[in-house]
Structure 1
Amino acid sequence: MSTPLEFDAAGERLAMLPERALWWPERAMLVVADVHFGKAAAFRAGGIPVPRGTTGANLALLDRLVERHAARHIVFLGDFLHARAARADATLAALAQWRDRRRELALTLVRGNHDRHAGDPPAGLGIEVVDEPWRVGSLAFCHHPQTVEGAFAIVGHLHPVYRLASAGDALRLPCFVVDGEWAMLPAFGAFTGGYQIAQQPGQRVFLVAEDSILELRG
Structure 2
Amino acid sequence: MSPGALMVELGGERLILLPQKAAFWPRERMLVIADIHFGKAAAFRSWGIPVPKGTTSENLDALDELILLTGAQHLLFLGDFLHARAAHAAGTQAAMLAWRRKNCELILTLVRGNHDKHAGDPAAQLGIDLVDEPYTVGPFSFCHHPDVDAPGYVLAGHVHPVYVLATRFDALRLPCFIAGPRRMILPSFGAFTGGHALRPAPDERVWVSSGEAVHSVR
* 1:37 counterpart residue number: 38
Question: 1:149, CA displacement in angstroms?
Answer: 4.6
Contact 2:141 2:150 in 1 (8 A): no
Shift of residue 148 of structure 1?
4.1
Residues 121-160 of structure 1, C-alpha deviation per residue, up to 9 Å, x if partnerless? 0000000000000000111000001254541010000000
Determine the structure 2 residue equivalent to 1:213.
214
Residue in 2 that maps onto 1:199: 200
Of stretches 40-49 and 145-154 in structure 1, the one that deviates more from structure 2 is 145-154
* Secondary structure of 1:173's aligned partner: strand
Residue matched to 2:134: 133
For the residue of structure 2 that corresponds to 1:31, the secondary structure is strand
Q: Distance in 2 between matches of 1:69 and 1:174?
A: 21
Percent of matched pairs sharing the same residue: 53
User: In the TM superposition, what is the alpha-carbon distance from 1:85 to its structure 2 partner?
Assistant: 1.6
> Hey, what does 1:89 align to over in structure 2?
90
Q: What does residue 52 of structure 1 align with?
A: 53
TM-score, length of structure 2 as denominator length: 0.97
Contact 2:141 2:151 in 1 (8 A): no
Does the aligned pair in 2 maintain the 1:147–1:182 contact within 8 Å?
A: no
Structure 1 length normalisation: TM-score?
0.97
* Alignment correspondent of 2:7: 6
Structure 1: any 5+ residue segments left out of the alignment?
A: none
Amino acid at match of 1:102: N
The answer to whether the aligner puts 1:190 opposite 2:191 as a matched pair is yes
Q: Given residue 105 of structure 2, which amino acid in structure 1 is its aligned partner?
A: E
1:113 positional shift: 0.1
Residue pair 1:147, 1:181 contacting (<8 A) in 2 also? no
Aligned twin of 2:120: 119
One-letter amino acid matched to 2:51: V
The match for 1:143 is 144
SS at the partner of 1:79?
Answer: coil
Residues of 2 paired with 1:98 and 1:85: CA distance? 19
Partner of 1:19: 20
The Cα shift of 1:163 comes to 1.2
Closer/same/farther in 2, CA of residues 42 and 23 from structure 1, 3 Å limit:
same
Equivalence for 1:180: 181
Partner of 2:141: helix, strand, or coil? Answer: strand
Cα 1:148/1:6, change in 2 over 3 Å: farther
Q: What residue ranges of structure 2 are gaps of 5+ in the alignment?
A: none
Q: Give the counterpart letter for 2:98 in structure 1.
A: Q
Q: Which amino acid aligns with 1:66?
A: I
| Alpha-carbon distance, 1:52 to partner | 0.6
Higher deviation after alignment, 99-108 or 203-212:
203-212
Separation in structure 2 between the aligned mates of residue 120 and residue 153 of structure 1, nearest angstrom: 23
Q: Which amino acid aligns with 2:187?
A: P
Give the count of matched residue pairs: 217
What SS class does the counterpart of residue 176 from structure 1 fall into? strand
Call closer, same or farther: CA 1:4–1:158 in 2, change over 3 Å.
same
Conserved? CA contact 1:140–1:148, under 8 Å: no
Alignment of 1:61-100 (within 5 A): 61-100=62-101
Q: CA deviation at 1:210?
A: 2.4
C-alpha RMSD of matched pairs (Å): 1.0
- Contact 1:110–1:141 (8 Å) recurs in 2: yes
CA distance in 1 between counterparts of 2:54 and 2:211 reads 21
